[in-house]
Every structure is written in C-alpha cells, then in structure tokens.
Amino acid sequence: MPLAVKKRYMPGLDGLRAIAVLAVIAYHFGWPIASGGLLGVAVFFVLSGYLITDLLLEERRSTGRFNLRRFWIRRSLRLLPAMLLMLIAVTVYLAFTDPGRLFNIRGELLSALTYTSNWYLIYRQVSYFESFGPISPIGHLWSLAVEEQFYLLWPLFLWGMFRFIPFPTRGKLAAVTLAVAAVSLLAMAFLYVPGTDPSRVYYGTDTRAFGLLIGAAFAFFIPSRKLAEPLQRGSVLLDAIGAIGLCISLCMIVSVDKYDDSLYRGGMLVLSVASGLVILASASPFSKIGKLLSWKPLRWLGVRSYGIYLWHYPVQVLTGPKDPGEDSSLLYQLIQLAIILIISSLSYHYIENPIRTGTLFKNKKKERVSMKSKKMKNVFRTITLGLAIMIVLLSTACEGAGSNKPTPLSETNAETTANIPDTATPTPTDTPSHSPETRGGQTGGVTAIGDSVIVGVKPALKKLIPNIIVDGKVSRQLSDAIDVVNALKSDHQLGDTVIIELGTNGPFGSKKLNELLDAIGDDKQIYVVNSRVPRDWQDTVNKTLAEAADEHSNVKLIDWHAFSKGKKEWFTKDGVHLQPNGAEAYAGLIAEAIR
C-alpha cells in the first residue's frame, strides 16, 4: 500500500535508534556502564512522536487531508506480525519447557495482543524494578503498548486540532501539544512518591505521554523537510544543539540511577528535550551529528532495532540463570546478544521488511492484479493462524498447569512459614502478637519492624526472644515504617530496643532513613539489619544503613549480608526469603546482637 507522500530516509535517526536499543539491552544485562539504560525507552518515545507527527503533517500538506485508515493499517502491518511471531515462539517454548510459567503469564499474553500491557501490569501491581519470582519474558512489551495507544489516539487528536482550532498554525498546534505534555509531566510528578516503587508512573500512558508529545512538538516547529536541504545559515547552531543533546542523553544513560527522585520530577523531561535536539541534528544529512550517527554499524542496528527490542528480553530471560542470585558472565551475555541479533535479523529479512514493502506474498511473475488485496488477505490469514496456535497452546498449558497449581499462601499462615514471596499483593499488616505480658504496654522490651523476611523468621525470633513484638508486612517499604512506629507508640508497644529490617523491596535514601530514626527517638537502642537480595538496590540499601550506624550513637548494624555469604542452602529459590535453617540463623544473629 504505497504512501501518497514518499518518506525521506534519515540514516542518522537509525543511529539514534541503535544507541537507544543498546542502552536498554545493557541496562537489562545489568552492565554498570548503563545504569540509566532504561532511558533508552524514553528516547524511543520522543523519536516516535516526532516521526509520526512529521509523517501526518507532510501527508496533510501534500494531499490536504489525513488518511487515518491507511495510517492505522500501515502501523499494524509494521508492528503486529513481528510481535506476534515473538509471542508464538515464547508460547511454544514455554508450552514444552515450563507450562506453569506459561499459565502465570497468560494475562500478559492477552494484554500484549491488545496493546494494553502497561495498564495490565499497573492493575496487577507488577513492578518493573522489584520482582522476586520468575521474570516474565514479555514484560518489556509495556512500552510498545504506550506507543501503540499513542498511534491510535494522536492522529484523532491532531485531526481535531486542525478542525476546531481557528487558523491552525504550527505555533498554535505546538502550544496545545506542549500544554497536554505539561499535564502528563505534572501527573508523573504528582503520582510519584519518593522512596516507593515508581512502576505506576513508569508504566502509565498518562505519565509517559509527555515524551511522545515533546517529539510531536519538535515536528511542529521544525519538520524534517526543512532539514533536507543544506542550510544557508544555522548549520553550526544545528551541530551545536545536536552535540549538546547527545552529550546530555549519553551522560544520563551512563550515570542516572533509576531510583533517583529527580528522574521522575523533571529528569525525564530533560532527557526528552535533549533527545529532541539530537533528532533535529540527525534528521539533517548535512550535519556532523547526522553523519556521525549514520555510521554503517549503527545504521544496521537501527534498521533492526524493533526486532532487537522485541527479542532481547525473551532471549535474556529464558536463557538466563535459573538461580536469581546468580549473575551471567560477560561472555555468556555476549553470546545471548549474538543470538538476539541473529533472530532479529532473520525477523527483519523474512517478516518485517517483506511485509512493509509488500514483497512477502508476490509471485514469481510479479502479477499486479489485486496484489494489494491479496497481500492484505494473506497477512491477516497468517496473523489469524498465529493467534489460533497461541490460543491452542495456551489452553493446553493452562489446563495442565491449572490442575497442578498449588494453593496460594495466605497471610494467616505467614507466621509459620519462611518463604513468603514479596510479589504478592500487599495484605493487611501482620498484627503484632500482643501477648498478655505486653498488652498493657511495652517497657524495656524488643520490637521488630520489617517486611516479609521478618514475617518469615517470626517463629524463630519468638523462640529466642519470647516477649518480642514483630510487626511485619509483605511488600512493606521503608517509607511505610514511620506510620507503623507512630501507631506502636500510641499503643505503648514500641520497646526500648527496636529492630528495623527493611530494604528487601527497594532502595531508600539517607533522608528517609533518618526520618524513621527520628520517629523512633534518640532514647531507643536501634538495630538495623542489612539485606541480602539479588537485586541492584542491595548495595545502595546496605551502604545507607552502614552510614546511619556510623552517624548515630544509638544505631548499630547487624550485618546479615556478610553473615549469610555463601549460604545458598539458607534461602528459597528467590534468593531472598529463608528456609527454616536460614530463619533460625537469622534469628540467632539478631538475638546475639541485642543480647
């Protein structure tokens, strides 16, 4: 289906795509050089907003109208077949190797097909940052859902602006677009709560739309056609803003921490604007930045970036170590990267490019009669067949897994188990065991406040410290603990010795920790237990706790991380929660420290 307007190829933008997708892969591999590699997705958002808006505006300029039906069909044919192939491959692989895991991601598979993955993950409270169970091999599709929702709604919004804004100049259109982007940015800042899991604002279409809209605003101000000709003036300025934007983007990808509060309160805005500046420079074939990003290896990666993004996560997750505490070697990760590039290259050559160019179903004689309708019919038949295969395999796997599915662990037996998963939906607080000796008030006693780890070791703790009060809750964050402390104080249940076990579910800064210590009071002896958790916030948490112990005379550190080193037999499969022997060791370490 040819476009009414021929689209100009901009090789520099493929180079930018390559940098963005490599940043995401490096981040998921845990490479220190890309601590902010998750920002590669934000670069893709700005790029998509620019290109889609530029394409639609150019079509209207040339033809006088928007052909929305053709736009949506082209987007579907560009994106859906390759994603469907990946989903079928994941379904088939898990159907034969791990039907139970396939059963667990059945909702994600269905939401992926409808491009609602991000809202499904929000609804199910699935964290992008804090997962202890088996990682979903399709968890990365949330970003494609955000983009596809933009592709569906933005053309309608753009059409509405042209229809209802009097004399719709590019300046007016850009102003409205930036106003909507500001609402999205404010929603991110308002909904983000420091010290808590930022997944809600990270996934949400409402809180991430500003990146796409900033890209659209750049397209209003400087469309790509104005950059196609050599600039009489301003070429030096174009190179300068491109270089500044590229430096800012790369510095943020290399150095930003995903839990940095500033990232959700303006940091992503800076990244989006910087990416827009790079896009302007890259869209010009005469700029030095455009030529730099047109380097052939980068172009090769950029052309295949969609397939690389689709396949990188399933390959990494399904071929990675089974033990969550075990890290892949660099050599093994490079082998995984090679597999990703091979699969994505095959997808590009045999699926994506033939469907995009309309050559997939052409016969040898290249007959042109009804070729468009034949191609469409064959594509949709292929998609329908793929969906049927997925449904059959998923149904078979769900029947097998469902019949053997274990009974979920309830909060009522939390006190007698030592392996409660923190991925469970938060449940009411594990009420402190107010024994007859302490019901009237805790004087000189011991109180422990923590998350599911402390809940799991509660029976062992009560054996060694009989009158201890344990207040634990699944998925508790340190930011929740101040309210717990205040409630215990009001009930006269806060002992003179307070044990804090928090950090399993995410990082916290010294400011939040000091607020908690102040709430407990200088008159209490406080023990902070550090963490052993196979996630990247472990070292941040442990460093913050150690600094607090050095800075406060009434705070002492219990070094569980060092004490449990090399003791894999103490832990459950998630590498965090404890087997009975591990719970006994944990309780013994605490009892010995406070004795």
Catalytic positions are 452, 574, 577
Question: What's the Cα-to-Cα distance from 286 to each of 246, 282, 292, 590, rounded to whole Å?
Answer: 17, 9, 10, 66
Token duo for residue 88: 């079928």
For residue 526, what are the β-bridge partners? 498, 555
For residue 442, give the 3-state DSSP assignment. coil
Q: Can you state the angle between helices 267-282 and 39-63, rounded to 10 degrees? A: 50
Residue 19: exposure state from Cβ atoms within 10 A (0-12, 13-18, ≥19): buried
Distance CA 320, CA 564 (A): 24
Contact residues for 88 (Cβ-Cβ < 8 A; gap 6+): 386, 389, 390
Opening angle at CA 395, ends 394 and 396, nearest 5: 90
Question: What's the Cα-to-Cα distance from 572 to each of 38, 424, 439, 453, 507, rounded to whole Å?
Answer: 29, 16, 34, 11, 22
Among 517, 491, 487, 518, which Cα is nearest to 502's?
A: 517
Residue linked to tokens 């994506």 = 352
Distance CA 150, CA 52 (A): 10
Work out whether strand 469-472 and strand 446-450 pair parallel, antiparallel, or are unpaired: parallel
b/e for 500-517, b at 16 or more Cβ within 10 A? bbbbbbbbbbeebbebbb
Question: What's the Cα-to-Cα distance from 124 to each of 14, 191, 199, rounded to whole Å?
Answer: 35, 17, 11
**Helix residue spans in 358-442 (DSSP H):** 371-403
Sign (positive or negative) of CA dihedral 349, 355, 357, 359: positive
Residues 110, 97: contact at Cβ < 8 Å? no
Side by side, the strands of the sheet bearing 469-472 are 469-472, 446-450, 497-501, 525-529, 555-558
- How many Cβ atoms from other residues are within 10 Å of residue 409's Cβ? 14
Token duo for residue 54: 């530029």
- DSSP run (H or E) holding 128: none
Token duo for residue 130: 């804090």
Number of helices and strands in the chain (H, E): 25, 5
